[in-house]
Amino acid sequence: MSFISYLKDGISLGSIYAIIALGYTMVYGIAKMLNFAHGDVIMVGAFVILAAITKAGLSPLLSIILAVVLCTVLGITIEMVAYRPLRKASSNLAVLITAIGVSYLLQNVALLVFGADAKSFVTVINVPTLVLFDGQLTIKGITIVTIAACIIIMCGLTLFVNKTKPGHAMKAVSEDRDAAQLMGVNVNSTISLTFAIGSGLAAIAGLLLCSAYPTLTPYTGAMPGIKAFVAAVFGGIGSIPGAMIGGILLGVIEIFGKAYISSQVADAIVFAVLIIVLLVKPTGLFGKNVQEKV
């Protein structure tokens, strides 16, 4: 039964990685940018929820809505101020360095506002624990909510991209930005919408992450953000189903690595598996080979 328990924990953790990875994969798939500040938007969302409940006295639901709105605005602002001026830069390194700079900026602002001490996250999700097999297996409410949220978000994003006009605009911009603009697609608005969706999902991920692991610091989103990027690459960056499968697989590998090998080398195992997968299939599990026309 311990194997099933570890598998359950791995799927729960992987679902959080998957939600974060969906933000990465949408931004890269459409804007062709690696937003390494995405993990820190998670931290901002968690701090907004904590402050709204403990300082402002808002209800958990209103706090979550406020966090999603503020993170959405933050994502749009980051894209407009930091990334949009570099969209036609001669080197992708400029965008990469800027993304790292934005990440450090958010971390240091959080340090100034909230301090370096770890904060205990409040209980926001109150779902009863599910007991199975005469008490041999228990599934926490947060685990159920996290897995359900991951599936719902992935299905919702897939339908949005494939069935709506803004989704079709995103696919057009992803294929050829200049051609899409000539066909009347507002490229700036489409990319801003992509950042808005990704940042809103980051707030949800921050809620689920800190509900499962209730310790919050200005660096809380850094490592989950990196692992979620690994998950996006693992599944095939640019693929929405790939981000979900990659995130879940990454979570399962990490938990099994901690349980059966060593908690100290679990992160190394995760990155080693990524290297092996990319050696065998460089585009990731669900990625597509793209031939560039010269």
> How many distinct structural domains can be found in the chain?
1
* Residue 218 covered by a domain: yes
Separation of alpha carbons 44 and 66, rounded Å: 12
- Tens digit of pLDDT for each residue in 199-237? 999 999 999 999 999 999 999 998 998 888 888 888 887
* Residue 77 covered by a domain: yes
- Contact assessment for residue 22 and residue 257, using Cβ atoms and an 8 Å cutoff: no
Tokens representing residue 31 in the block: 């804007």
Residue 248's pLDDT is 92
- Contact assessment for residue 182 and residue 80, using Cβ atoms and an 8 Å cutoff: no
Q: Whole-prediction pTM value?
A: 0.90
* Residue 216 covered by a domain: yes
Which residue in 290, 235, 269, 273 sits closest to 22, CA to CA? 235
CATH number reported for the structural domain that contains residue 240 in this entry:
1.10.3470
Give the DSSP letter string of 229-245.
HHHHHHH-TT-HHHHHH
* Residue 109 covered by a domain: yes
Domain that holds residue 123: 2-280
Tokens representing residue 177 in the block: 């930005």
Q: Which residue has the tokens 């599944």?
A: 235
Distance of CA 163 to the CA centre of its chain: 23
* Residue 289 covered by a domain: no
* Residue 294 covered by a domain: no
* Residue 290 covered by a domain: no
Q: How confident is the model at residue 79 (pLDDT cuts 50, 70, 90)?
A: very high
